[in-house]
Amino acid sequence: MSPVANYRSTTDHAELDRVLASAAGAAGAWAAGGADARAVALEGVADALEAGAGELVPVAARESSLPQGRLESELTRTVFQLRLFAEVLRDGRYLDVRIDHADPDWPMGAPRPDLRRYLQPIGPVLVFAASNFPFAFSVAGGDSASALAAGNPVVVKAHPGHPELSRLTGDIVSEALRRAEAPAGVFSVVYGQEAGVAAVQDRRIKAAGFTGSITGGRALFDLAHGRPEPIPFYGEMGSNNPVFVTLAAAQARAQEIAEGFIESFTLGAGQFCTKPGTLFVPAGSGMVEAIKQAGLGGVHGMLNRRIAEGFLSAAGDLRNHPEVEVLLSGPDSPDGPGPVVLATTAEAMLADPTALQSEVFGPASLVVEYHDLDQAVQVAGTYAGQLTAGIFGQDDCPVQDLLAVLTQIAGRVIWNQWPTGVSVTYAQHHGGPYPATTAVTSTSVGTAAINRFLRPVAYQNLPQHLLPAELQDENPLGLPQMIDGQ
Amino acid sequence: MSPVANYRSTTDHAELDRVLASAAGAAGAWAAGGADARAVALEGVADALEAGAGELVPVAARESSLPQGRLESELTRTVFQLRLFAEVLRDGRYLDVRIDHADPDWPMGAPRPDLRRYLQPIGPVLVFAASNFPFAFSVAGGDSASALAAGNPVVVKAHPGHPELSRLTGDIVSEALRRAEAPAGVFSVVYGQEAGVAAVQDRRIKAAGFTGSITGGRALFDLAHGRPEPIPFYGEMGSNNPVFVTLAAAQARAQEIAEGFIESFTLGAGQFCTKPGTLFVPAGSGMVEAIKQAGLGGVHGMLNRRIAEGFLSAAGDLRNHPEVEVLLSGPDSPDGPGPVVLATTAEAMLADPTALQSEVFGPASLVVEYHDLDQAVQVAGTYAGQLTAGIFGQDDCPVQDLLAVLTQIAGRVIWNQWPTGVSVTYAQHHGGPYPATTAVTSTSVGTAAINRFLRPVAYQNLPQHLLPAELQDENPLGLPQMIDGQ
């Protein structure tokens, strides 16, 4: 387990100022270089990371305690999402090009001028890296990929949990961008909390992405919105990801569900924002017994000592709740604490939702016995915003009311699958009402994530030669265009 | 001129609580009723407002001092935008439906589950009405139209400048919605600053729209983001809307530009967020003489005493600036202060941009002499965020650098037209960097405004019969769907 403050150096004020100045200086050229050039550059970064796997993965394993196989597949995902954003750039729909020709008879009572609008880069983006995905949500992770793809310079605030990996990844990304003739300053990594706090308040930063704890995310959100010029702050924070098992599902496949549950909540030592933190099971259905029977093995070590201590403290608070008992516990390993399944009742949760719905980051989950679907609906309605919520049911289960409530509280609603393992796709949504995220209208995973770092600009009555190529009648870039609303 | 505090009653705490509870209670049914039903309801509201013109316009004229003709055309625009959002609802692209079928060979290194995503209503929306558009940005204005269209209940905080019109409009809207069988509580109007401040902090409100001053907007923005559960706050605030005249344009058509300038900045007694507050003219080009020659008549009275006093104070501050002189002034009318054209130089503005770029809400504008395009580009770069920026030029003017800077500072860039008169269209963008708006990624005018009040939800692995109709393979609603990225 690496100590949390293992980084060798922090970025001082003068260096941060140079980084931000060069990011601001790179914005115009990176945006103007065009989407095709950015697609090639992103693919160059993807290739370089892939080629660097042999060097990157061992450093990641040493700094994060995560298993090599997991890190290899995380790197594959990281490389894939860079390539997927290259595809988004070539597709061009993300620009949302709209052209309205002048119309003297426009029925609003006044002639319509020629108006053309598309989405442009928002400006330099600050990305706060996460600890638990040293590749996919860190230096070269999703926020960096979407912000770069959108045409923005990126400044990553490295996570102190993997400083050497951050530096190594940053060097590989920067070198690949240099080879792709991206402007100097388009990508940098800075180190230390002070640098992050200063950068999020700097006028040259125009948006920020964050993945981490509610406490840290809210503090940075407050700074971003307290600026003289507030900026969008996209924080992906905590989630408890409740999963409900119906009586029919429990009767049909208690053992399968119990095993899947244990596999999902202990995956990565429970250090996922989508870990199923609560499993609602019908009282007397045999689910509790099936979970007991499935048993708990050990898990690998946690990311660092601070996170392990946080886990032990939060899990301890939950275990010491008067209405909670221990259902199962797994062995501690030399590298970290063992997993635990706790148990309570829906009545207890209704009486004290704040305590029993708080996130425990690490290998713990709470099994909650409920009596009937009405009670399940009632307790689901007490949840704050969640990244995911799920149901294990049979096709004929009358779960419509439960689904409706889960849709209100969560960004992704899942049927008969576990929430861990967030696929990077066109239709993915990784977000949700606060405190799952600070920006309920946006996603941090999937192709729609690019929209967070774009702003619309409209041009009125410009002659063709002064219009951006994206908006010209000739459509030299061959983009999808909405013309006169069609 | 109506006194500002002319309203007969304010909404007390108990009444506000009833309004918010009924808005929250209406959310599910209004959303579930479907887009077609909402389109019919919006058209019913449009028809009712149109039918009520004879009653509405005289009240608006009495409370706002705005001329009858202007109010009639504003009501036409208001009715039009309700109908345009009905069209958006029937079109269905606003839902951004995306369907990814399961794919065992998805190249991210793990099978892709079946994922389906679309945009759902965000929840009850609070709309702060503006004073200067008693129809188009007030009770039944753009924010109400887009929020209702998106499927959200709306609570309007009435502007105290037109309380009787607010009540009358609210009654007409509510009655039309009732006739359309919309759920009770889907639309309400509340009165008084205290009610607005309480409502923006109430957990039942899930987003807010605002049109008004920077001071008021920022205070409410801070409250919305300081909540335990922060919400999106879409504030459209102040703008100075700089317009640059090139030397070639001045030489070709000084008189036409001068007359257009005076017409635009005095329109509505200068009480538009898109009023051209600054006109940059080439020194020695004859533009100053042309403006003097065009002359200034009087303007109609201002909206209320508070706004007139604010205008006199802000215009006085600008006139008393040591580097500013009076170029032209028009006569006061019995109803309000006369218009004024002030003058300064680009050097003076570069030396004191804060003072010389501050918005004066009312019939004043500042003419700034500049020496060459390089200086114009330099001074343009000193502006904070603007709703619009414009150029009057000839087709061969080398304005590329100036255009690039204006694109950075403004949401809409205009060529050879004046910024007043914001057309409601598909490609319109009424927004811009702070302080023009608090949310640079969104617009308050045009069909894209509906996106502010929607949130994405993804469904993973759901059987067809449990999916919303929007996401079913059969596509019973006939919606545009992105399927597997295509």
- Residue A288: DSSP 8-state: H
- Residue A8's pLDDT is 58
pLDDT-derived band of residue B2, with 50, 70 and 90 as boundaries? very low
Contact between B100 and A426 (Cβ < 8 Å): yes
CA distances from A318 to A342, A359, A434 (A): 8, 10, 22
B54 lies within 8 A of chain A by CB: no
For residue A438, the chain B residue with the least C-alpha distance is: B230
Q: Provide mean pLDDT across the span B201-215.
A: 97
Query: Which residues on A lie below 8 Å from B100 (Cβ)?
Result: 425-428
Give the one of B113, B439, B456 whose C-beta lies nearest to A429's C-beta.
B456
Does the pLDDT of residue B3 top 60, yes or no?
no
- Residue B9's pLDDT is 82
Contact between A45 and A177 (Cβ < 8 Å): yes
Question: Active site residue: A273, A359, A369, A470, which one?
Answer: A273
Give the one of A83, A440, A460 whose C-beta lies nearest to B417's C-beta.
A460
Q: Provide mean pLDDT across the span B33-55.
A: 98
Q: Mean pLDDT for chain B?
A: 96
Give the one of A108, A117, A454 whose C-beta lies nearest to B427's C-beta.
A117
- CA-to-CA distance for B192 and A301, rounded, in angstroms? 57
Quote the minimal CA–CA distance from B292 to chain A in Å: 27
CA distances from A195 to A17, A20, A141, A200 (A): 10, 11, 20, 9
Q: What digits encode the pLDDT tens for the residues B410-461?
A: 999 999 999 999 999 999 999 999 999 999 999 999 999 999 999 999 999 9
Give the one of B415, B427, B433 whose C-beta lies nearest to A466's C-beta.
B415
For residue A224, the chain B residue with the least C-alpha distance is: B225
For residue B27, the chain A residue with the least C-alpha distance is: A408
**What are the structure tokens assigned to A73, written together?**
């597949």
- Best of A457, A471, A473, A481 to disrupt the B interface by mutation (most B CBs within 10 Å)? A457
Quote the minimal CA–CA distance from A440 to chain B in Å: 6
Query: Which residues on A lie below 8 Å from B428 (Cβ)?
Result: 100, 115, 117, 458
3-class DSSP state of A432: coil
- Residue A332: DSSP 8-state: P
Give yes or no: B397 in active site.
Answer: no
In the stretch 210-269 of chain B, residues with CB closer than 8 A to chain A read 221-222, 225-226, 229-230, 232
Contact between B355 and B314 (Cβ < 8 Å): no
**E strand intervals along A183-277:** 187-190, 207-211, 233-236, 243-245
Instruction: Count CB neighbours of A345 within 10 A.
Output: 19
In the stretch 364-393 of chain B, residues with CB closer than 8 A to chain A read 384-385
Give yes or no: A397 in active site.
Answer: no
For residue A434, the chain B residue with the least C-alpha distance is: B229
* Residue closest to A121 by CA, chosen among B408, B380, B429: B408
Instruction: Count CB neighbours of B455 within 10 A.
Output: 24
Q: What are the average pLDDT values for consecutive 10-residue runs of chain A, which has 486 residues? A: 54 97 98 97 98 98 96 98 98 98 95 98 98 98 98 98 97 98 98 98 98 97 98 96 98 98 97 97 98 95 94 97 98 92 98 96 98 98 98 97 98 98 97 98 97 98 98 98 96
Contact between A389 and A409 (Cβ < 8 Å): yes
Q: Do B411 and A458 touch (CB under 8 A)?
A: yes
- CA-to-CA distance for A41 and A39, rounded, in angstroms? 5
Q: Provide mean pLDDT across the span B119-136.
A: 98
Instruction: Count CB neighbours of B298 within 10 A.
Output: 18
- Residue B409's pLDDT is 97
Contact between B436 and B409 (Cβ < 8 Å): no
Instruction: Count CB neighbours of B395 within 10 A.
Output: 11
In the stretch 84-123 of chain B, residues with CB closer than 8 A to chain A read 84, 87, 91, 96, 98-100, 106-110, 112-113, 115-117, 120, 122
Q: What digits encode the pLDDT tens for the residues B246-275?
A: 999 999 999 999 999 999 999 999 999 999
- The residues, any chain, with a CB within 8 Å of residue A103's CB and separated by 6 or more, are A111, A112, A484
Q: Do A385 and B229 touch (CB under 8 A)?
A: yes
Contact between B425 and A438 (Cβ < 8 Å): no
SS (H, E, C) chain B: CECCCCCCCCCCHHHHHHHHHHHHHHHHHHHHCCHHHHHHHHHHHHHHHHHCHHHHHHHHHHHHCCCHHHHHHHHHHHHHHHHHHHHHHHHCHHHCEEEECCECCCCCCCCECCEEEEEEECCCEEEECCCCCCCCCCCCCHHHHHHHHHCCCEEEECCCCCHHHHHHHHHHHHHHHHHCCCCCCCEEEECCHHHHHHHHCCCCCCEEEEECCHHHHHHHHHHHHHCCCCCCEEEECCCCCEEEECHHHHHHHHHHHHHHHHHHHHHHHHCCCCCCCEEEEECCCCHHHHHHHHCCCCCCCCCEHHHHHHHHHHHHHHHCCCCCEEEEECCCECCECCCEEEEEEHHHHHHCHHHHCCCCCCCEEEEEEECCHHHHHHHHCCCCCEEEEEEECCCCCCCHHHHHHHHHHEEEEEECCCCCCCCCCCCCCCCCCCCCECCCCCCCCCHHHHHHHEEEEEEECCCHHHCCHHHCCCCCCCCCEEECCC
Q: Provide mean pLDDT across the span B26-54.
A: 97
From the number of C-beta atoms within 10 Å of its C-beta (0-12, 13-18, 19+), residue B326 rates as: exposed
Does the pLDDT of residue B137 top 70, yes or no?
yes
- Residue B334's pLDDT is 84
- Residue B335's pLDDT is 81
Q: What digits encode the pLDDT tens for the residues B291-332?
A: 999 999 999 999 999 999 999 999 999 999 999 999 999 999
Does the pLDDT of residue B8 top 80, yes or no?
no
Does the pLDDT of residue B150 top 70, yes or no?
yes
* Residue closest to A133 by CA, chosen among A205, A193, A211: A211
Quote the minimal CA–CA distance from B233 to chain A in Å: 11
**Model's pTM, two decimal places?**
0.97
Give the one of A425, A454, A457 whose C-beta lies nearest to B413's C-beta.
A457
A451 lies within 8 A of chain B by CB: yes
**What are the structure tokens assigned to A417, written together?**
């699958």
Query: Which residues on B lie below 8 Å from A110 (Cβ)?
Result: 73, 77, 421, 423
- CA-to-CA distance for B398 and B376, rounded, in angstroms? 12
Pairwise pLDDT comparison (B238 vs A255), residue with the higher score: A255
Does the pLDDT of residue B206 top 90, yes or no?
yes
B60's torsion region: left (phi>0), alpha (psi -120 to 50) or beta? alpha
Question: Active site residue: B63, B236, B359, B369, which one?
Answer: B236
Please, which residues bridge with residue A344 across strands?
Answer: A368
Query: Which residues on B lie below 8 Å from A225 (Cβ)?
Result: 221-222, 225, 230
